Amino acid sequence: MKIIISPSLNPYFNLALEEVLFQKTNEDYILLWRGSNSVVIGKNQNPFQETNIDFLKENKIDLARRISGGGTVFHDEGNINYTMIFNRKNAKFTEFHELMKPIVGFLKEKGVNTYITERNDMRYKDKKISGTAQYTQKNRILHHGTLLFNANRSLLSKSLKCKNIPYESNCVKSVPSKVINLRQVIKENISVEGFILDLKEHLIKDFNGEAYELEESIVEEAILLKNNKYSTWDWIIGYTPAFRILDNFTDGNHVIEYELLIRKGRIKSIKITVNGKALETKHLIDKKYSEALICEASSNLVNKIIRKLV
């Protein structure tokens, strides 16, 4: 087992690095990494349902999508991520608990008694400190999790507070939980960097592993994948499963009804009626579901309604 600390804080690079190690090699790795302010959604999630996209833009918080399932997580430099990649014959998703045991053991050494829940997250008392997700392909497993060490809980909360829009979809939805930072409960005065180094040493012993520095060729492949996939609109937004917005409201004497179908991040059908009379909206077909829908080609009323929905 090769134990690596990523040289980068770029969330897109680190997600790409996970995939390169998983897809392009046959060796076993544990990757420890942190990311700059970002929100990472699961492969089958809808970012509009999971995040406050306006808040992310205003505060320069990156939005990213990973290849594994599971729920949405907030990353910053006070959040530690671990990624286990290895070969396992007849790999099963049911091995979450087994893979989390080394982390539980490390925290116990630090004086923090945690437990694993049926949702495969890790808690201290009743508060969440870690969420996990997995991706398998043939006999290869990618298992990763977060460890809230000293994350900005205010940014976390505001980033994950989505707009009150009536989305209808089969997208995987996150389950909100109360969280706590490990820094609050670890008695030892230790920095996040020191904590990572201690975790690295613990994992080297636990897995009989070795410290490892990334080869330049792997870094180059990860950079290429970051640029061509992980940082692109097509992956972050365009990969979103289809969803619908259907609702109505009253504005003075007018009853306004609307229905939108969004597929691959773009408007596939849209109908807005006022007292049963349809407004002109054909020009919005195939446009990205974003603020760009508010445009000069629309009537003032259409733009007023669209502002409620993006």
141 and 54 in a single domain? The answer is: yes
Element (H, E) at 101: helix 96-109
As a whole number, mean pLDDT of residues 54-83 equals 95
123 and 230 in a single domain? The answer is: yes
Per-residue DSSP letters for 187-208? -S---HHHHHHHHHHHHHHHTT
CB-neighbour burial class of residue 1 (10 A; exposed 0-12, middle 13-18, buried 19+)? middle
Task: Write down which residue in 189, 219, 236 finishes a domain.
Answer: 236
- Grouping H, G, I as helix, E, B as strand and the rest as coil, residue 220 is helix
Task: Write down which residue in 207, 236, 265 finishes a domain.
Answer: 236
138 and 253 in a single domain? The answer is: no
pTM for the complete prediction?
Answer: 0.92
pLDDT at 92: 55
The answer to whether 158 and 55 are in contact (CB under 8 A) is yes
Task: Write down which residue in 217, 236, 255 finishes a domain.
Answer: 236
207 and 117 in a single domain? The answer is: yes
Following CA atoms 175, 176, 177, 180 in sequence, which dihedral angle do they give, to the nearest 10 degrees? Answer: 130
115-127 pLDDT, tens digit each: 998 888 899 999 9
pLDDT at 94: 53
Q: Which domain holds residue 301?
A: 243-307
Angle at 227 between CA 27 and CA 310, to 5 degrees: 120
175 and 52 in a single domain? The answer is: yes
270-296 pLDDT, tens digit each: 999 999 999 999 999 999 999 889 999
Provide the CATH number for the domain around residue 59.
Answer: 3.30.930.10
**Cα distance between residue 206 and residue 96, in whole Å:** 17
